[in-house]
């Protein structure tokens, strides 16, 4: 297996132009495909998760043209649901933002669609979404384990009406239902059962739908009403914001190491909840300034531990776990049970690898508590095929020991060029 050894790093300085947001790229591609008219999407992310969505759309008969750098995509909308005469199989890797929204969207049309993916995708739940689709007329066969992909959809349209959906495992189930709702036969009223996790991702969904002309009534994230007969209409051109989760590693680097880093593409005006990561750094003691489309972080003094519920920013919250290696006191990240059902069991993986660099860690069912070591120890970090494990642990190299990242190529899921950009702002000891 490939590995990358990062020699101890002294400080950071520079600017980073962020690649496009994964969450927005995959939502906008799907909506552009369902919409009437032609949409030019700019600053599209070029990464595995987006390739899976693009490949799926192509197999579904959607015509699009990608620029040579794959960052601009001209999509010819189909103006309606996807239908097929022959059974189609779509491989969606480990992309939650492709698997969940496509599972709902493909129920809108007619035909047989099988959704497959990488082995880890077969351990990531989808039952809460399927259980909400069945009363609307979906017919779903699980091909391996009940409640998990792979699955086959025998589609013949979705009725409207009232439906409830559980929101305590993944917001992507609600996102999927919302995005398909305007194409149901009648009005759809969605009731969220219990707690809704990762709430800001629903704002990304509603914002994306609005860009394509669809209005959703949102009653405090517990009840949503989507009128039937609304059509997705192309806005013409739409630019993908920079990825706020990807921004977190560079911003944390500045807070840890000293120097100043400014990221472009995400700022005070961003629709992405993960922009709030910078507020967590500010609570830890970093100096943070915002422009409409940029965030800048500098270090003005030592970092302090925090004890926070980070359910709203589950992806960027992982970056706090390795930032905690440089904060005095014990940091606690709470209410992140669903870390366990993402690219890997992230609570277990994070706890295991943090211990390798000498941290004292308590892994709770839905929290992690980290007390930094006096000195970070040299370590060989396993990344569990999880892009965020690789990116988070690059920050451990701001200690005085070399850190080896195993399988650094796993960042291809959302950020293939991460280590090049990281190197471009860091200065060795
Ligand atoms: O809707 C989205 O774009 C996402 C929602 C979040 O997942 P959960 O809702 O499963 O927490 C997040 O972790 C994921 O990376 C992207
Ligand atoms: C959880 C993640 O991905 P997915 O969209 O596959 O859920 C992630 O990117 O951290």
Residues 221, 264 within the same domain: no
Domain membership of residue 237 (yes or no) is: no
Domain annotation covers residue 231: no
Catalytic residues: 315
- Residue 4 CA to residue 403 CA, distance in Å, equals 8
- Asked if 50 and 161 sit in the same domain, the reply is yes
Residues 409 and 267 in one domain: yes
Ligand 1, pocket residues at CB < 6 Å: 23, 96-97, 170-172, 175, 197-198, 201, 314-315, 338
Q: What is residue 229's predicted lDDT score, i.e. its pLDDT? A: 86
What pLDDT does 429 receive? Answer: 82
Q: What is the pLDDT of residue 79?
A: 97
Give a yes or no: residue 235 inside a domain: no
Verify that 218 and 326 share a domain, yes or no. no
Q: 330 and 221, same structural domain?
A: no
ipTM of this complex: 0.99
Structural domain includes residue 233: no
Q: Which residue among 97, 205, 389 is best mutated to probe the pocket of ligand 2, counting the most ligand atoms within 8 A of its Cβ?
A: 97
Q: How many structural domains does the chain have?
A: 2
Is residue 232 assigned to a domain? no
According to the model, what pLDDT value does residue 363 have?
A: 98
CATH of the domain at 318: 3.65.10.10
- The pLDDT value given to residue 67: 98
> Do 175 and 298 share a structural domain?
no
Structure tokens at 46: 């070029």
Pairing of strands 237-239, 38-42: parallel
Boundaries of domain holding 296: 3-18+244-428
Tokens of 253: 């680097």
Instruction: Indicate the top mutation candidate among 23, 27, 240, 317 to test ligand 1's pocket, ranked by most ligand atoms within 8 A of CB.
Output: 23
- Examine residue 238 and state whether it is found in any structural domain, yes or no: no
225 close to 189: Cβ distance less than 8 angstroms: yes
- How many Å lie between the centroid of ligand 2 and the Cα of residue 391? 14
Answer whether 388 contacts ligand 2 (Cβ < 6 A). Answer: yes
pLDDT at residue 348 in the model: 98
Give the C-alpha separation, 178 to 162, whole Å: 13
d(CA 229, ligand 2 centre) in Å: 31
For residues 385 and 272, state if they share a domain.
Answer: yes
Pick the atom of ligand 2 nearest to 388's CA. Answer: 10
The answer to whether position 309 is within a domain reads: yes
Locate 289 and state its tokens.
């300034």
Ligand with the closest atom to the CA of 179: 1
Q: Residue 243 has which token pair?
A: 């990825």
Tell me, yes or no, whether 177 and 112 share the same domain: yes
Mark whether 218 and 339 lie in a shared domain. Answer: no
Tokens describing residue 237: 């051109």
Residue with the nearest Cα to atom 2 of ligand 2? 342
Alpha helical stretches, state H, 258-296: 277-284
Strand-by-strand arrangement of the 360-363 sheet: 307-309, 331-334, 368-371, 360-363
Residue 428: the pLDDT is 83
Q: Are residues 29 and 14 in the same domain?
A: no
Rounded Cα distance, 266 and 287, in Å: 17
CB 106 within 8 Å of CB 82: yes
Choose one of 172, 196, 225: the last residue of a domain: 225
Judge whether 236 lies within some domain.
Answer: no
Q: Among 190, 225, 260, where does a domain finish? A: 225
CA of 199 to the centre of ligand 1 (A): 9
CA 174 to CA 195: how far, in whole Å? 12
pTM of the model: 0.98
Q: What angle do CA 365, 370, 376 make, to 5 degrees?
A: 140
Same domain, 10 and 35: no
CB of 97 closer than 6 angstroms to any ligand 2 atom? yes
Q: Token match 């005070």: residue? A: 268
Question: Is residue 95 lining ligand 2, measured as CB closer than 6 Å?
Answer: yes
Give yes or no for residue 18 CB within 6 A of ligand 2: no
pLDDT of 391 = 98
pLDDT tens-digit profile, the chain (429 residues): 799 999 999 899 999 999 999 999 999 999 999 999 999 999 999 999 999 999 999 999 999 999 999 999 999 999 999 999 999 999 999 999 999 999 999 999 999 999 999 999 999 999 999 999 999 999 999 999 999 999 999 999 999 999 999 999 999 999 999 999 999 999 999 999 989 999 999 999 999 999 999 999 999 999 999 999 899 999 999 999 999 999 999 999 999 998 999 999 999 999 999 999 999 999 999 999 999 999 999 998 999 999 999 999 999 999 999 999 999 999 999 999 999 999 999 999 999 999 999 999 999 999 999 999 999 999 999 999 999 999 999 999 999 999 999 999 999 999 999 999 999 999 888
Judge whether 404 and 369 are in contact, CB under 8 Å: no
Point out the domain boundary residue: 156, 190, 225. 225
Quick one: which H or E segment has residue 179? helix 172-180
Ligand 1, atom 16: closest residue by C-alpha? 23
Which atom of ligand 2 is nearest the CA belonging to 315?
10
Q: How many residues does the chain have?
A: 429
Examine the domain organization and report whether 418 and 274 are in the same domain: yes
């Amino acid at each position: 297996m490939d590995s990358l050894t990062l020699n101890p790093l002294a400080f950071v300085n520079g600017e980073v132009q962020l690649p496009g947001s994964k969450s927005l790229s995959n939502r906008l591609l799907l909506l552009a495909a369902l919409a009437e008219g032609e949409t030019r999407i700019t600053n599209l992310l070029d990464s595995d998760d987006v390739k899976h969505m693009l490949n799926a759309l192509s197999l579904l008969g959607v015509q699009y043209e990608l620029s040579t750098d794959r960052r601009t995509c001209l999509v010819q909308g189909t103006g309606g649901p996807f239908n097929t005469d022959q059974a189609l199989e779509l491989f969606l890797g480990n992309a939650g933002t492709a698997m969940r929204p496509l599972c709902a969207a493909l129920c809108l049309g007619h035909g047989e669609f099988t959704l497959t993916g990488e082995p880890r995708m077969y351990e990531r739940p989808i039952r809460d979404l399927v259980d909400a689709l069945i009363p609307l007329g979906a017919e779903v066969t699980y091909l391996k384990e009940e409640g998990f992909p792979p699955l086959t959809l025998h589609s013949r349209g979705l009725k409207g009406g009232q439906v409830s959906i559980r929101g305590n495992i993944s917001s992507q189930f609600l996102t999927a239902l919302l995005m398909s709702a305007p194409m149901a036969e009648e009005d759809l009223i969605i009731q969220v059962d219990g707690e809704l996790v990762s709430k800001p991702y629903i704002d990304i969904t509603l914002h994306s739908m609005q860009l394509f002309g669809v209005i959703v009534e949102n009653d405090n994230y517990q009840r949503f009403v989507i009128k039937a007969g609304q059509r997705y209409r192309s806005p013409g051109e739409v630019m993908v914001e920079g990825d706020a989760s990807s921004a977190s590693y560079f911003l944390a680097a500045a807070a840890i190491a000293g120097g100043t880093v400014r990221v472009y593409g995400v700022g005070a005006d961003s629709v992405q909840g993960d922009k709030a990561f910078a507020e967590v750094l500010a609570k830890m003691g970093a100096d943070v300034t915002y422009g409409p489309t940029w965030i800048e972080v500098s270090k003005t003094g030592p970092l302090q531990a925090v004890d926070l519920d980070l359910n709203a920013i589950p992806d960027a919250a992982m970056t706090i776990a390795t930032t905690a290696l440089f904060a005095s006191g014990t940091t606690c990240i709470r209410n992140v049970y669903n870390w366990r059902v993402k690219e890997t069991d992230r609570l277990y993986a994070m706890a295991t690898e943090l211990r390798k660099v000498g941290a004292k860690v308590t892994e709770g069912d839905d929290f992690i508590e980290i007390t930094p070591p006096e000195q970070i120890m040299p370590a060989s970090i396993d990344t569990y095929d999880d892009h965020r494990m690789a990116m988070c642990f690059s920050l451990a190299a701001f200690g005085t020991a070399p850190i080896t990242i195993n399988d650094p190529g796993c960042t291809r899921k959302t950020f293939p060029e991460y280590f090049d950009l990281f190197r471009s702002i860091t200065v060795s000891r």
